[in-house]
């Protein structure tokens, strides 16, 4: 947390060690006793204590409410520092409007600011993003469901695993917020320690929205994000992973191409590798060997050998 230049008198009065302006005239601070409180600037340079520094942690959520930790229990304060959710949860995080993901024991559920329970505390995980009043949840048997807040209905999702839509083959690649990679017919490989994606699991991959609806259908051997969120790298075929004589992990058996966010093929799925080099420019490879470069900190999949061609996506769109 950064110090935000509170007046010296205020720093001295409240023994401020660090502070940050987090919302309009609201400043969160930590004092010399390692306790957290909240100050409000009522006029220029004049501050009043909104929340006593008695908490072990404070952070502000998207609604302007304060998530606080006290004696190992998380609760919620309103903008005036009044308690609206008691300090009785292992964890608490904002989902949408008056709804919060909450943890009791080992189970997650969904409550509102009146602590009415929308979803009971028997879920292993609740995802971060909300779309169309819906969030994805995972039960204790590792099954996935979409949960619709207004109707409180659960709908089963036909996926074995759901992952963040970050890239495992491109530097800086990440799909637009609220998208996830999904896999059906998932099989864990013996190379699962290499990354959380391409070599860790084989199956049929796709991309879904945060409400569980399909973005890229599950019809690929792998799908990956570029830095440009308008496009995805996709593979078809059947992966074969093995170590070569030099000890490098090799990936064979598939062909690569590029699709747009509507799953239209932009670069034919016929190359041995595709790499993004600019916003809509890709280098494609024929005849090369795809290997995992584990030279820290540039650990990623690359290609060596073969013939490379530059494709300008603008000419294809």
- State both tokens at 286: 């024929």
pLDDT at 305 over 70: yes
Cis status of the peptide bond prior to 297, with omega within 30 of 0: yes
User: What's this model's pTM, rounded to 2 decimal places?
Assistant: 0.87
Mean pLDDT over 74-91 rounds to 92
Q: How many CB atoms lie within 10 A of CB 293?
A: 14
- Domain ranges in the chain? 90-157, 161-315
Percent of the chain scored above 70 by pLDDT?
A: 93
CB hemisphere CA count around 279 (13 angstroms): 2
The more confident residue out of 247 and 294 is 247
Distance CA 204, CA 236 (A): 9
Model confidence at 4, in pLDDT bands (50, 70, 90)? low
pLDDT at 130 over 80: yes
pLDDT tens for each residue of 19-70:
988 877 889 999 999 999 999 999 888 999 999 999 999 998 888 899 999 9
Helix (H) / strand (E) containing 14: helix 8-14
Mean pLDDT over 241-252 rounds to 91
Mean pLDDT over 297-305 rounds to 83
Under 8 Å CB-to-CB from 277, ≥6 apart: which residues? 283, 310
Distance CA 98, CA 76 (A): 11
Percent of the chain scored above 90 by pLDDT?
A: 71
Q: Which of 47, 27, 51, 24 is nearest to 37 (CA)?
A: 51
pLDDT tens for each residue of 100-114:
999 999 999 999 999
Least confident window among 45-49, 130-134, 137-141, 263-267: 45-49
End-to-end C-alpha distance for the chain, whole angstroms: 45
pLDDT at 228 over 90: no
Q: How much is the mean pLDDT over the chain?
A: 90
The pLDDT, as a whole number, for residue 81 is 87
pLDDT at 172 over 60: no
pLDDT tens for each residue of 185-208:
999 888 866 555 788 889 999 999
Indicate the CATH number for domain 90-157.
2.40.10
């Amino acid at each position: 947390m950064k110090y935000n230049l509170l007046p010296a008198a205020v720093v001295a009065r409240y023994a401020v060690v660090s502070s940050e302006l987090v919302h309009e005239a609201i400043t969160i601070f930590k004092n010399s006793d390692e306790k957290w409180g909240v100050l409000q600037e009522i006029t220029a340079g004049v501050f009043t204590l909104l929340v006593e520094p008695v908490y072990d942690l404070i952070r502000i959520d998207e609604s302007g409410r304060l998530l606080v930790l006290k004696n190992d229990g998380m609760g919620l304060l309103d903008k005036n520092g009044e308690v609206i959710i008691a300090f009785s949860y292992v964890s608490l995080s904002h989902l949408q409007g008056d709804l919060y993901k909450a943890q009791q024991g080992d189970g997650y559920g969904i409550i509102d600011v009146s602590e009415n329970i929308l979803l009971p505390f028997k879920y292993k995980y609740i995802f971060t993003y909300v779309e169309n009043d819906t969030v994805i949840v995972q039960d204790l048997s590792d099954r996935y469901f979409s949960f619709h807040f207004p109707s409180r209905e659960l709908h089963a999702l036909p996926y074995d695993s759901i992952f963040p839509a970050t890239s495992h083959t491109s530097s800086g690649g990440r799909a637009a917020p609220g998208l996830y990679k999904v896999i059906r017919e998932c099989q864990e490989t013996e190379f699962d320690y290499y990354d959380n994606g391409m070599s860790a699991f084989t199956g049929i991959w796709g991309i879904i929205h945060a409400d569980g609806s399909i973005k890229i259908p599950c019809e690929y051997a792998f799908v990956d994000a570029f830095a440009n969120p308008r496009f995805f790298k996709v593979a078809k075929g059947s992966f074969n992973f093995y170590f070569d004589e030099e000890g490098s992990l090799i990936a064979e058996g598939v062909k690569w191409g590029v699709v747009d966010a509507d799953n239209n093929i932009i670069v034919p799925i016929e190359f041995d590798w595709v790499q993004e080099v600019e916003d809509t420019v890709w280098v494609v490879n024929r005849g090369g060997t795809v290997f995992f470069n584990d030279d820290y900190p540039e650990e990623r999949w690359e290609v060596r050998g073969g013939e490379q061609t530059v494709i300008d996506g603008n000419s294809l769109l």
